[in-house]
Amino acid sequence: MRHSTWIFGGLFLLVSTAGIATAVRSVPKHIAVTPVPSDARVRDLDITFYESRVKRDPYGAMDLARLGALYLQRARETGNGSDLTLAENAARLSYSHRQSRNGQALQILTTALLSQHRYEEAYETAHSLSERDTSAIGARATLAELALETGRYTVADSLFAMLRGQSHLPSIAPRLARWLEIHGKNEEAHQLLLAARTDAKRQYGMPNEQLAWFDLRVGDIAQRNGRLAEAEEAYQSGLRTNPGDYRLLSALARLSAARRDWKRAISYGEEGIETVLDPVTLGVMGDAWAQQGDSAKAEEYYRVMEVAVLKQPGAFHRAWSLFLLDHGRDVPAVLAKVQEEIQTRRDIYGYDLLAWALHKCGRNEEAGPAMAHAMAEGTRDAMLYYHAGMIARSRHQDAEAGHFLESALATNDAFDPFGALSARAVLDSVSRKGR
């Protein structure tokens, strides 16, 4: 899940570009002018500017915080993980030099840790930030989001209940929407994201990368609920706002795969990995080439994806882990990572991943209780239903399996190009057996 941190980098970008744009408009048409630099160029100039200021004055806490915000902005736009480390280091240094009235540094640090999937560290930092200013809505929202991500649902419910009155804010609405989804209120979450996207596009100065992110969120929730045409419309809208956005290209590759449109999946995937070698996109392209009959090329993509995942420090990204499990690749290694992560991050998707990894290892009696934890919040997610159904089937609980698999297809009959086919086949088998 992406995060609404545009305020910190975006305000500096707005200050820089607004003056340039105003100056250009004021020049008579017959006089040649230098073209307005792109947002990315302005961002890089701002980074160079603040790097030079920090070099001259290493103790300037505010300059370090501004630099950290700009590193975060570049990380979001390019997918460059090293910028997250730079942002983390700048924020830590800023806070070490000045703690009073420097909540910005803690917010940047929290976001950098969260983006690196260091959830427990991020939660502790967000908790410190919230305690320093109990009236700050942003700090409360960040803590609520991290409580949700780490499975602290009682804490999350309390915090989000207090934030319901702020659902009109673009920085709050996406977090509330995710909370609503976890509790099975998909339609309410969908409408909230649509409203948030509209509000975001009315806000002057919000970077294109963040505007496109709102389209991504709308597209994702539409796709998760089987509204594929709406999902594509949202993704394409995002690309018009932020051409070449690798996140949207990856989403379109996944959407094309869900539709079994393998040629488009390859096309979008190739364009996306030109910017970022995203393992999930590589996996989708491997599947697409396999379905096109080129098993050698498919294996090339699978291997690159596998190496990228296994070299990742810490916990595996969950989407990558699911891909490996679904394809029977490195299953023991994935299970070991999942078992390690569940010790500190006990949310429903952590339990779902644990259940699925145990199932893939043939340990279905252990998988059943883990899957029950994953279903405990009443989440209406086709993939959760599918995993629950297949595990129940493996435990010879045919009635339960049928119920869950029907729920999966009713929620989204194109939730996965292969999983949906498996769900239908098992349902048919269960139906014939029950006659």
pLDDT 10s digits, 171-224: 899 999 999 999 999 999 999 999 999 999 998 888 899 999 999 999 999 999
In the predicted model, what is the mean pLDDT of residues 260-284? 94
149 contacts 119 by C-beta, under 8 angstroms: yes
Q: Is the pLDDT of residue 163 over 50?
A: yes
Query: How high is the mean pLDDT of the chain?
Result: 89
67 contacts 51 by C-beta, under 8 angstroms: yes
At 35 the pLDDT is: 61
At 36 the pLDDT is: 57
- Whole-number Å distance between alpha carbons of 402 and 386: 10
Question: How confident is residue 276, by pLDDT bands cut at 50, 70 and 90?
Answer: confident
Query: What's the pTM value of the predicted model, to 2 decimals?
Result: 0.86
Reported as type and span, the H/E element at residue 276 is none
Q: Is the pLDDT of residue 301 over 90?
A: yes
Q: Is the pLDDT of residue 311 over 80?
A: no
Q: Is the pLDDT of residue 5 over 50?
A: no
Question: Which residues are within 8 A (CB) of 103 and not within 5 positions of it... i.e. 6 or more apart?
Answer: 129, 132, 133, 136, 139
64, HSE (Cβ side, Cα atoms, 13 Å): 26
Question: How confident is residue 77, by pLDDT bands cut at 50, 70 and 90?
Answer: confident
Amino acid at 189: A
In the predicted model, what is the mean pLDDT of residues 298-317? 82
At 131 the pLDDT is: 87
Question: How confident is residue 434, by pLDDT bands cut at 50, 70 and 90?
Answer: low
At 313 the pLDDT is: 66
